[in-house]
């Protein structure tokens, strides 16, 4: 059984995900994608997650359990700032089941990751948020987060990623 991380919210415990939690993590990913109206973009499988999370250790997951029920997760990994010369903690996803929102679970997950970032000597703690997600934006602003509106995120994926990679050999 996993070791639990005690929180100040009555009935709420956190734990570091283990390989046996892979189906739960995938379930939460699907629920998050549904909330974000992006279900068609999820191609992750249990096998892919096991390989990425528990063998390659490309990311880590913290699970939230409220009164014995799994209610949310945070998936994160380290990035690096050349300007700071230090790693940072990047939050890829934070999700709490809708019926458990407003109980402080998201706040606890976010503050736990901030504490972890400090313990690991990180210079930053960052994440993206969809522009239309006003409840999350308001929550993040209330926690002291600063939107990086002078930056634009760029992405290359799928066939365009393959084309760009082939340019190296040309």
Q: Is the pTM of this model over 0.75?
A: yes
- pLDDT grade for 170, boundaries at 50, 70 and 90: confident
Q: pLDDT per residue over 34-69, tens digit each?
A: 999 999 999 999 999 999 999 999 999 999 999 999
The one catalytic residue in 66, 90, 95, 140 is 140
Count how many Cα atoms sit within 13 Å of the Cα of residue 61 in the half-sphere of its side chain: 24
Each domain of the chain, given as residue ranges in start order, spans 4-169
- pLDDT grade for 16, boundaries at 50, 70 and 90: very high
**CATH code, 4-169:** 3.40.630.30
- pLDDT grade for 1, boundaries at 50, 70 and 90: low
- pLDDT grade for 152, boundaries at 50, 70 and 90: confident
- DSSP character string of 66-117: ETTEEEEEEEEEEEEETTTTEEEEEEEEEEE-GGGTTSSHHHHHHHHHHHHH
Compute φ and ψ for 129, nearest 5 degrees. Answer: -145, 135
Question: For this structure, is 140 an active site residue?
Answer: yes
């Amino acid at each position: 059984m996993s070791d639990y991380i005690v929180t100040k919210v009555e009935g709420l415990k956190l734990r570091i995900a283990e390989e046996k939690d892979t189906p739960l993590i995938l379930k939460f990913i699907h629920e998050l994608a549904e909330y974000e109206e992006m279900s068609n973009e999820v191609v992750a499988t249990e096998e892919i997650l096991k390989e990425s999370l528990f063998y390659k250790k490309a990311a880590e997951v913290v699970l939230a359990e409220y009164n014995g029920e799994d209610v949310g997760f945070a998936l994160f990994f380290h990035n690096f700032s050349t300007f700071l010369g230090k790693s940072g903690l990047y939050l890829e996803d934070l999700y709490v089941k809708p019926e458990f929102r407003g109980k402080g679970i998201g706040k606890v997950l976010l503050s736990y990751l901030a504490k972890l970032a400090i313990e690991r000597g990180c210079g930053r703690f960052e994440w993206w948020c969809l522009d239309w997600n006003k409840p999350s934006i308001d929550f993040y602003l209330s926690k002291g987060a600063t939107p990086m509106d002078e930056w634009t995120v760029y992405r290359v994926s799928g066939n365009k990623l393959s084309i760009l990679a082939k340019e190296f050999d040309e």
